[in-house]
Chains A and B, each alone.
Chain A
Amino acid sequence: MDVVFNQVFAGLSFASILLIIALGLAIIYGTMGVINLAHGEFVMLGAYATWALQSFAGIGVVTALPLVFVAVAAVGWIIEKGIVQWLYHRPLDTILATWGIGIILQQAIRMGVGAESKFVRGPDWLSGNIEIGTLVMSNYRIFVIVFSVAVLTGTWLLMTRTEFGMKLRAVIQNRGISECYGIEAKRVYSVTFAYGAGLAGIAGALITPLFSTIPTMGTGLVVDAFLVVIAGGLGSLVGTAAAAMLIGEVTALFSIVINDTLGRIAVLAGIILLIRFRPRGLFPADTRR
C-alpha cells in the first residue's frame, strides 16, 4: 500500500511540472491555434538559464524563477514577432515552423554550452524530507506542487480579473469582433505567446534539480504536455489542470501495476481514444469560432 502512496506522490509532482508546461502551451494553443513544438525547447532554455544563473552569478533556483521567466518570455516574444505571427493563417505550418525553431534553439545550446549534462543544486532550505508513516515526501517536490498551484491560480486571476485577461478572452472568442471594439489582437497575441514561453521557462527552472539538464530534455516533455492540452480541451484552464493530474497519476500508477513503458503506452492509447471520441477534450470551453 505504501508503494501506492509514494507513487501517487511521485505522480503528483510529475503532474505539477506537466501542468506548468501544459498551461503555457494551452494558452498559446487556445488563443492562437498555434501548436508550439518549440515549447519543449523553452523548457530547456529555462533550465539552462537557471544553470547559468547558479554557476556564474550564484543565484539559487527559487530566486532565479522570476529572472528566468522574464528571460524566456523575451525569447518567446522575439520568436512570435519574427516568425510565428506570419503563420497564423496556416495552422498546420506552425507545427513545422516551431519544430524548426526547436531544432535551432537546441543546436544553439549544444554549440554554445555543450552537449554534456549540467548539474543544478536544489535550494538548501528545501533539502529535507517529510515522512508520514511510510510515505516519504521531499520538501522540494512539495514546493514544486505548491508553486504549480500558485501558477495555476495566478493564470486564472490574470485571465478573469484583469483587463488584459478580458481582452485575451475576447480575442479567443472572436478575433474580428474584438478588433472592432479596439482591442489590438496582434499585441494580445505577442504578450500571450511570451507569457506561455515564460511559464515553460519556469517549469524548466523547477525541474533542474530533479532531471539532468541536457539539450534534448524538452523533446519528451513537449509530447506529454501537448497531449495534456489536447486531452484537457482548448483554452480551458480547469481541463488542462485535470488532464495534467490524470496523465501524471495514471502514468505513475500504471508503472507499478505493469511497468513504466507499458504505462506510457497505455496513457497514449487512452489519449488517442479520447481525441477520437471527445475531440474537444474533457472540459471544452464555450468558444465561438
Chain B
Amino acid sequence: MTNKLSYDIIGLALFAAVILFGVPAFFGYDGFELNTFSRYLSLAIVSMALALSWGTAGLLNLGQAATFGMGSYAMAMHLKLKASGEGLPDFMGWNNVETLPALWVPFHSLTFTLLAGLLIPAAVGGLIAIFMFRARIAGVFVAVITLAFLVAFQLLVIEQQGFTGGQNGLTGLAQLELFGWTVDIYATSFYYLVGICLMVALTVGLYLTHSKFGLILRAIREDADRTRYFGYNVANYQTVIFCISAGLAGWAGMLYALVLEFASPTYMSVSFSLAIVIWCAVGGRESVLAAAAGAILVNLAENRLSDVFVEGWHMMLGVLFLLVVMFMPRGIYGVIVDAGRALRRKGGGDAEEPAYDASLKSKQEG
C-alpha cells in the first residue's frame, strides 16, 4: 500500500512536470497550440472524475456528461450576463422572455457562479445517488438510470429555449474576470490555470483512493453485500463518491465552457458521455492518473488522426476502443502494472504482494 502510494506520487509528479513544463516548452509557449491542449486538460478532469466512481466504486455512470454540462452552463450563464451588460441576453429576446428568469439572477455574481458550477452538479449527482443506492440498485441498472437521466436532461435543456438558448446553446460570451485578472484563453497563463485545476483534481482523487474511504469503496466494488455485512453503510459511501465525481465533472465543464467560449447541449449528448467512458477505459479506470492521461492521449490522437483521415478516424476510434475493451480491460494502466509486476518477479523474486486492484474482471455485478 505505501509502495503503491509512492508510485502514484511519483506518477503525479511526472505528470505535473510534463503538463506544466514539458508541454508549454514543446509548443514554444504558443498560446494557440496551448489552447487546444487546455481543452484536453479540462476533459482529463471529467475523465478522472469518472474513474473515481467507475474504477474505484464500480458505479458506471453513463450520465457523467449531464453534470459536466451543468458546470459548463453555469459558467456560460455568468459570462453571457456579463456580455449582455444591463440588458437581457439576446436569445431571450428572440424567445419573448421579458424579464430575466429568477434562475439566472444569482449568476451575476462570480462567487456564486464558481460555487454553483461545483455544488449544483454535486447536489444533483447526490440526489440521483440517494435515489438509486438507497434501493440497492447496482451494476447495469446504474448505467441505465444515469443514461435515461442524461437523455431526459438534454431534452429538457433543448426544450427550454427561453432559459437555455435551446439547440444553439449559449454563445457570444464575455471574457471571465477572475479577481481583477481578465482571463485571455489564448494566453499561457490560462493554460496554467487549467493545468493547476487538473493537478488539484488529481491530488484530491489520489488522496481519496488512498484513504480508508477509497479502500472501502474498492471493497464495495468487489462485493457490496460482504461490505454491508461488515457494518459499512454502502449507500452512503456510494452517494459521497457519486457527489464528488459529479462536482469534479461540473468543475471540468466550467473550464470547458471557458476554453470553447460557448456552452451547447451537445456537451450533454449520449455520444459525448460515452466518449468520456472511452477515455477512461483506454487510460485505465482504476487509476485517476491513468484516466486523465487516457483522455489527453485519445483526444490528441483524435485531433491528429482527424487531420489526416477526415473520414476514417471515427472508425479507428471505434476499433481502438473495441480492442481495448477486449484485450486490455484494465486499459494502458493495466498493461503497465502487469509489465512492472512481471519485471519485478523476474528480477528479485520478491514475495508477490497481493494486488489490491487485480480482480476487477473477476466479478462484476450483473
State the A residues within 8 Å of B (CB).
Answer: 33, 35, 83, 86-87, 89-93, 95-97, 99-104, 107-108, 110-111, 219, 223, 226-227, 230, 259, 261-262, 264-265, 268-269, 271-272, 275-277, 279
Given contacts A86-B326, A95-B140, A100-B318, contact A269 B152 (CB under 8 A): yes
Main secondary structure of the interface of A (DSSP, over half): helix
> Which 3 pairs of residues, A with B, have the shortest CB-CB distance?
A103-B318, A100-B322, A268-B152
A-B contact pairs, 20 of them (CB 8 A): A33-B366, A92-B139, A95-B60, A97-B326, A100-B318, A101-B318, A101-B322, A103-B321, A104-B318, A107-B318, A108-B315, A111-B312, A223-B270, A227-B144, A261-B156, A271-B148, A272-B145, A275-B145, A276-B132, A276-B135
List B contacts of A89 (CB < 8 A): 361
CB distance from A92 to the nearest CB of B (A): 5
Q: Does B329 contact A (CB under 8 A)?
A: yes
**Please, how many angstroms separate the alpha-carbon atoms of A33 and B135 in the complex?**
21
B281–A104 touching, CB < 8 Å: no
Cβ of A107: which chain B residues have Cβ within 8 Å of it?
A: 311-312, 314-315, 318
B residues adjacent to A (C-beta < 8 A): 60, 131-132, 135, 137, 139-141, 143-145, 147-149, 151-152, 155-156, 158-159, 270-271, 274, 277-278, 281, 311-312, 314-315, 317-319, 321-322, 325-326, 329, 361, 364, 366
What is the CB-to-nearest-CB distance from B139 to chain A, in angstroms, rounded to a whole number? 7
- Choose from B144, B159, B281, B366 the contact partner of A96 (Cβ within 8 Å): B281
Residues of A within 8 A of B314 (CB): 103, 107, 110
Cβ–Cβ < 8 Å partners of B315 in chain A: 103-104, 107-108, 111
* Given A276-B131, A279-B135, A100 and B144 contact (CB-CB distance below 8 Å): no
Question: What separation, in Å, do the CA atoms of A279 and B158 have in the docked complex?
Answer: 29
A279-B141 contact in complex given A96-B277, A111-B311, C-beta closer than 8 Å = yes
A92 to B147, CA, bound (A): 14
A96 adjacent to B325 (CB under 8 Å):
yes
- Whether the pair A91, B364 counts as a contact (CB closer than 8 A) is yes
Chain B contact residues: helix, strand, loop or mixed: helix
A91 contacts B318, C-beta separation under 8 Å:
no
Q: Do residues A276 and B145 form an inter-chain contact, with CB atoms below 8 A?
A: yes
Across the interface, name the chain A residue whose C-beta is closest to B361. Answer: A90
Assess whether B132 is in contact with A100, with CB atoms less than 8 Å apart.
no
* With contact pairs A33-B366, A97-B322 given, residues A103 and B317 touching in the complex (Cβ less than 8 Å): yes
Contacts A107-B315, A223-B270 known; list 8 others, CB within 8 Å.
Answer: A91-B139, A96-B321, A100-B321, A103-B321, A223-B151, A230-B141, A262-B159, A275-B141
| Cβ 8 A contact of B325, one of A93, A110, A227, A268 | A93
- Are B144 and A87 in contact, with the CB atoms below 8 A? no
Check if B318 sits within 8 Å of A35, measured CB to CB.
no
Give, as a whole number of angstroms, the nearest-CB distance from B213 to chain A. Answer: 23
Cα(A102)–Cα(B275), bound, Å = 13
Residues of chain A within 8 A (CB-CB) of B319 are 100, 104
> What residues of chain A lie closer than 8 Å to B131, measured between beta carbons?
276
The smallest beta-carbon distance between B319 and chain A, in angstroms, is 6
In the complex, what residue of chain B is closest to A273 when comparing beta carbons? B131
Bound Cα distance A95, B321 (Å): 12
Complex formed: what's the CA distance from A86 to B139 in Å? 19
Q: For the complex, give the distance between the alpha carbons of A97 and B141 in Å.
A: 17
Cα A83 to Cα B318 in complex, Å, equals 13
Bound form: Cα–Cα A104–B132 in Å: 33
A275 contacts B137, CB within 8 Å?
Answer: yes
Is there an interface contact between B147 and A277, defined as CB atoms closer than 8 Å?
A: no
| Residue of B whose beta carbon sits closest to that of A110 | B311
Q: What residues of chain B lie closer than 8 Å to A262, measured between beta carbons?
A: 159
Q: In angstroms, how far is the closest chain A Cβ from the Cβ of B166?
A: 10
Query: Which residues does chain A contribute within 8 Å of B139, judged by CB atoms?
Result: 91-92
Q: Pick from B60, B137, B312: contact of A92, CB below 8 A.
A: B60
Do the beta carbons of A92 and B152 come within 8 Å of each other?
no
Q: Measured between alpha carbons, how far is A95 from B155 in the docked complex, in Å? A: 23
Q: State the CA gap A230–B139 with chains docked (Å).
A: 13
Cβ contacts under 8 Å, B321 to chain A: 96, 99-100, 103
List of B residues within 8 angstroms of A35 by Cβ: 140, 143
Q: Which residue of A lies closest to B363 (CB)?
A: A89
